[in-house]
Amino acid sequence: MRLHSGGMERRDVVAYLDELFPPALAEEWDHPGLQVGDLGLPCRRVLVALDLDLALIERLQGVDLLVTHHPLLFRPVSEIRPETPLGKKIAALLREGTACYAVHTPYDSARGGMGERLAGILGLRETRPLAPRGRLYKLAVFVPPEAVDAVAEAVFAAGAGKIGRYGHCSFRAEGIGTFLPEEGTSPYIGEPGGEERVREIRLETIVPGERLGAVIREMLSAHPYEEVAYDVYPLELEDRRHGLGRMGTLPEPVPAGEAIEGFAAAIGAETVRVYGDTAREVRVAAVCGGAGGGLWAEALAGGCELFLTGEIGYHEGLAAAEAGLTVAALGHRETEAVFVDHVAELIGRRFPELEVIRA
């Protein structure tokens, strides 16, 4: 966190959002992050919206940072003209000096983001991602025995070593390291020109992809060697903390129609399209906001009887129903509207000096 005599900058808010909803979790096709503007300017007023729609441009005056769910710039732009809706929006942002930042799929996938929010509204328990996201890495570093605890502490503090609800997970094996310092080096052990054999610990631990950069940085700064020997391996394991949608169990079996109605009422969805049997009792269910229909097969494979999403194609809905899944489409905007209150609340709580408004 950077603090300035002139107060905070927009980048402070963005750094906080990136920590909660790491950009590394973005879908490959996505384009989240800074859309328009300068993050290095002061920040006093933040506006949170699902989209920058045309009606919102009138409310940009005095807004330093606009945080949206959906990116404003999704496809390459070949021209910016004020008579087009996109041109009007970009012109308004530049005129008002408002920076526009989109959180999008990192918010959908991150632990504590959209998926868990919607699962909470539905009342799901023992939830897990419908489509896990996030990569895991193994870090192995060779450390002299007297420095191993300091290096381990540094990497744990930066986010390494978590397996489920266990922290500080590592493995340490002792062996002999060899090296020959060349002329011009200043080795921690030995002298330039003489081969050394030293006791070293191979310290290995697991690192989530979104923390890898920070973990390596902290490891290098805690390590006493001038040149640190370390390896980073990508793992085939899934990181089950993050991912699109969530599945889990309802507290008790209820008719599918009842679960759908309750959820629709809770999020304020008025138009619901249902495919499949609504009278059946359901216990295992999944939810994914927005255009999540494509995940119906994952829901079915995970043992779900009910799948709630924002949008699903007609043929996908039919196929899901015929395969034995009850699916309800409750609207893209309606299922994602939780973003606005949630993100505004997070920013307001973290930065009480800011004025945070909701679209």
Residue numbers at the binding site for Zn ion (CB under 5 A) = 290, 336
**For residues 152 and 197, is the Cβ–Cβ distance under 8 A?**
no
| Closer CB to Zn ion, 198 or 291, in the complex | 291
CA–CA dist 266, 270 (Å, integer): 11
**Least distance from Zn ion to the Cβ atom of residue 104, Å:** 7
Judged on CB neighbours under 10 Å (0-12, 13-18, 19+), 29 is: exposed
Shortest Cβ contact with Zn ion: which residue? 290
Q: Helix, strand or coil for residue 227?
A: coil
**Least distance from Zn ion to the Cβ atom of residue 158, Å:** 32
**Least distance from Zn ion to the Cβ atom of residue 332, Å:** 6
| Closer CB to Zn ion, 136 or 312, in the complex | 312
**Least distance from Zn ion to the Cβ atom of residue 283, Å:** 28
| Closer CB to Zn ion, 334 or 336, in the complex | 336
**For residues 275 and 330, is the Cβ–Cβ distance under 8 A?**
no
Tell me which residue has tokens 């002329």: 183
| Closer CB to Zn ion, 103 or 139, in the complex | 103
DSSP 181: P
Judged on CB neighbours under 10 Å (0-12, 13-18, 19+), 212 is: buried
**Least distance from Zn ion to the Cβ atom of residue 50, Å:** 8
The alpha carbon torsion through 262, 265, 268, 270 (nearest 10 deg) reads: 100
| Closer CB to Zn ion, 298 or 336, in the complex | 336
Tokens of 50: 């699902």
